[in-house]
Amino acid sequence: MSHAGLRMSTNEKEFIVAAIREEQRIDGRTPFDYRRLQIKFLKEDGSVEVQLGQTRVLAVVKGEITQPYPDRGNEGSLAIFTEFSPMGDPAFEPGRPSEMAVELGRIIDRGLRESRAVDTESLCILSGRSVWSIRVDIHILDNYGNLVDAANLAALAALLSYRRPECTVGGDDGQQIIVHPPEVREPVGLIIHHLPIAVTFAFFGDGNFQVLDPNLKEEEVMGGRITITINSQGEICAVQKGGGVGVSASEVMRCLRIAAAKAQSMTETLKKAVEIHEIERAQRKIRRHPNLQNQIDTASSVPNPIKKIEVEMEETSEDIEPKQALDTERGIKDLSMSDSSRMKSTETEVAETLTEKPSRAGGRDLFAGGESAWGDDVKLTPLKGSPGTRSTLFPLDSDALVEFDVAARAVLRGGVSSQRMSSKLVSEPLQRQISDQIAAAAVYANQTSPLISEDARPLGPIFPRVGDMDSTEESDAALETKSVSQPEGTPVNFYFSGKKKPKKRGGSGRQD
């Protein structure tokens, strides 16, 4: 097990082994302790960097449509590619994968593909003709021991966060595949049945001393190594022990038991990290217009009533959620309004939307106070306007504003019906637009999130990114048909704060 790049003195080697006999490790860990684990999801779906102590591994998942294998016509394929570039370790040579690289690739492959963790039948598009071929590239960025565990985790996290474009079969002969770009249809995730976690032990002495998660120096002096790929249900997916010192069966059983426990805690950590990433991803999709606050403030004709409204909204601290909803609403509306009607519509649609929502959700008041789920560290000022923009200002009717003021305050205090709203403020096409947007939002939220539960605490509205608000005809049609099929009275689901157990959804969700 000698490492070409690392040169250790005999003293150091003996010291490490002697310390392990006393159940001490050179970095201060106990024998069955993992190093600090960090899972970082990169901006692109399916790219994850895992840091286990000082070992860093990057996993990238890509999918493409190919022909299936002739003997497995209705199954997609999953392939793992490992590249040990000299970046990870000076001992790695560029060019052909070394023995270690091939072994690592095989262990991960066995754990994921052969244990049927990733569902390949769902990757089929046209049986015998076209299937999705998923490719996982594993890059070693820094080798400081135990690459297998880190790489396995990275591959798992990448597969969990990967989204492939949705495609439908259509055309005249029913044989044409239409791949929908992500702006038109939300990409779907892979179906992963269980999470096989690799747990590696190193043997020292005559095989009677084991440590978990060896670092680079321990790997240099170890006598042998065993990798157990096991999932949180205690099912062993793979065991790899190649060469090295002979170990008694009872020691192997002991390692298996420890591995089962470690796999459970690792699975929890991984799932939590994925959840946080999902929420953050969904929040990223909410597009906020940065200039609206300034536009409202600079309304030249009637400055005072407007400022009063803003100040009021800010001061009511328990209504933080409605205010954020307002900002979002305004943002989306602003982008879709023409310049001339911008000022007037901004005020009116805010009130309109507030009153729209309770009726839409079947009487349930979604913004009824409650603690803000966003927490203290969300700064609202960046969401507001910047002095950079000026729009053509529209002189506002002071009567309309006063009426709006009264209505807005009433609504903010909690779920007042829309009767008090003057209908003259809201135009017909505007109403339709607002209801369309809400329907689309409901559809979007229902369609994409695999982690929502019915009675989840709402975080905030999520709106679809329909191009740059210049939605193509196709996407408009798609949205419209979907909003028609949305059943009445269905509560509008929003993303929850993560405290509830996620409800499993069929189809493109995850099951485990």
Partner 1 sequence: MKKENAERAIIEVVWRAKSGLSGSYEKDAEVVVRRSLEYIILTALHPNTAISVILQVINDDGSLLACAMNAACAALVDAGIPLNGLLSAVSCGVTHDGQVFLDPTKPEEQKCKAYVSFVFPSRRLSAVPELPADVDGEPVEYGILTSVTRGAMEVEEYFSCVENCRAAAAKVSEFSRSSIEQSLKGNRDGC
Reference 160, options 50, 83, 85, 64; nearest CA is: 50
* Helix ranges restricted to H, 93-215: 99-109, 147-161
Number of residues in contact with partner 1 under rule CB under 8 A: 17
| 180 sits near partner 1 (criterion: CB under 8 A) | no
Which CB, 108 or 373, lies closer to partner 1?
Answer: 108
One-letter amino acid identity for 486?
A: Q
Which CB, 3 or 62, lies closer to partner 1?
Answer: 62
Please calculate the CA angle 167-168-171 and round it to the nearest 5 degrees.
130
| 5 sits near partner 1 (criterion: CB under 8 A) | no
The helix (H) or strand (E) run that includes residue 143 is: none
One-letter amino acid identity for 406?
A: V
Which CB, 49 or 149, lies closer to partner 1?
Answer: 49
Q: Identify the bridge partners of residue 98 per DSSP, sorted by sequence position.
A: none
| 161 sits near partner 1 (criterion: CB under 8 A) | no
Query: How many Cα neighbours within 13 Å face the side chain of 308?
Result: 11
| 158 sits near partner 1 (criterion: CB under 8 A) | no
The CA-to-CA distance between both ends of the chain, in Å, stands at 36
Among 8, 17, 141, 258, contact with partner 1 (rule: CB under 8 A): 141
| 251 sits near partner 1 (criterion: CB under 8 A) | no
Cα dihedral 322/324/328/334 (nearest 10): 90
Which CB, 62 or 500, lies closer to partner 1?
Answer: 62
Q: CB under 8 A: which stretch of 57-65, 352-360, 399-407, 486-494 binds partner 1?
A: 57-65
| 302 sits near partner 1 (criterion: CB under 8 A) | no
Q: CB under 8 A: which stretch of 42-50, 189-197, 412-420, 494-502 binds partner 1?
A: 42-50
DSSP for residue 87? T
What's the per-residue H, E or C state across 270-281?
A: HHHHHHHHHHHH
Q: What is the radius of gyration, based on Cα positions, of the chain?
A: 28
Compute the distance between CA of residue 181 and CA of residue 43 in angstroms, rounded to an integer.
18
| 139 sits near partner 1 (criterion: CB under 8 A) | yes
| 505 sits near partner 1 (criterion: CB under 8 A) | no
Residues in 91-120 at the binding interface with partner 1, rule: CB under 8 A: 94
Compute the distance between CA of residue 144 and CA of residue 214 in angstroms, rounded to an integer.
9
Reduced to 3 states, what is the DSSP secondary structure of residue 510? Answer: coil
Residues in 11-30 at the binding interface with partner 1, rule: CB under 8 A: none
Q: CB under 8 A: which stretch of 133-141, 203-211, 281-289, 458-466 binds partner 1?
A: 133-141
Among 16, 35, 41, 49, contact with partner 1 (rule: CB under 8 A): 49
Q: How many helices (H) and strands (E) does the chain have?
A: 12, 14
Query: How many Cα neighbours within 13 Å face the side chain of 131?
Result: 22
| 43 sits near partner 1 (criterion: CB under 8 A) | yes
Which CB, 15 or 81, lies closer to partner 1?
Answer: 81
Compute the distance between CA of residue 382 and CA of residue 278 in angstroms, rounded to an integer.
23
Q: CB under 8 A: which stretch of 36-44, 122-130, 212-220, 486-494 binds partner 1?
A: 36-44
Which CB, 44 or 114, lies closer to partner 1?
Answer: 44
Residue with the two structure tokens 């970046």: 87
Residue with the two structure tokens 């684990």: 37
| 142 sits near partner 1 (criterion: CB under 8 A) | no
Which CB, 162 or 494, lies closer to partner 1?
Answer: 162
Q: CB under 8 A: which stretch of 18-26, 80-88, 341-349, 431-439 binds partner 1?
A: 80-88
Contact 3, 221 (CB under 8 A): no
The helix (H) or strand (E) run that includes residue 255 is: helix 249-284
Which CB, 158 or 326, lies closer to partner 1?
Answer: 158
| 58 sits near partner 1 (criterion: CB under 8 A) | yes
One-letter amino acid identity for 14?
A: E
| 86 sits near partner 1 (criterion: CB under 8 A) | yes
| 60 sits near partner 1 (criterion: CB under 8 A) | yes
If you write DSSP's letter for every residue of 416-457 in order, what string do you get? --GGGS-GGGS-HHHHHHHHHHHHHHHHHHHHH-SS--TTPP
Which CB, 44 or 121, lies closer to partner 1?
Answer: 44
Which CB, 85 or 233, lies closer to partner 1?
Answer: 85
Q: CB under 8 A: which stretch of 9-17, 136-144, 378-386, 465-473 binds partner 1?
A: 136-144
Among 87, 400, 410, 416, contact with partner 1 (rule: CB under 8 A): 87
| 47 sits near partner 1 (criterion: CB under 8 A) | yes
Compute the distance between CA of residue 384 and CA of residue 379 in angstroms, rounded to an integer.
10
Site of interaction with partner 1 (CB under 8 A): 42-44, 47, 49, 58, 60, 62, 83, 85-87, 94, 135, 137, 139, 141
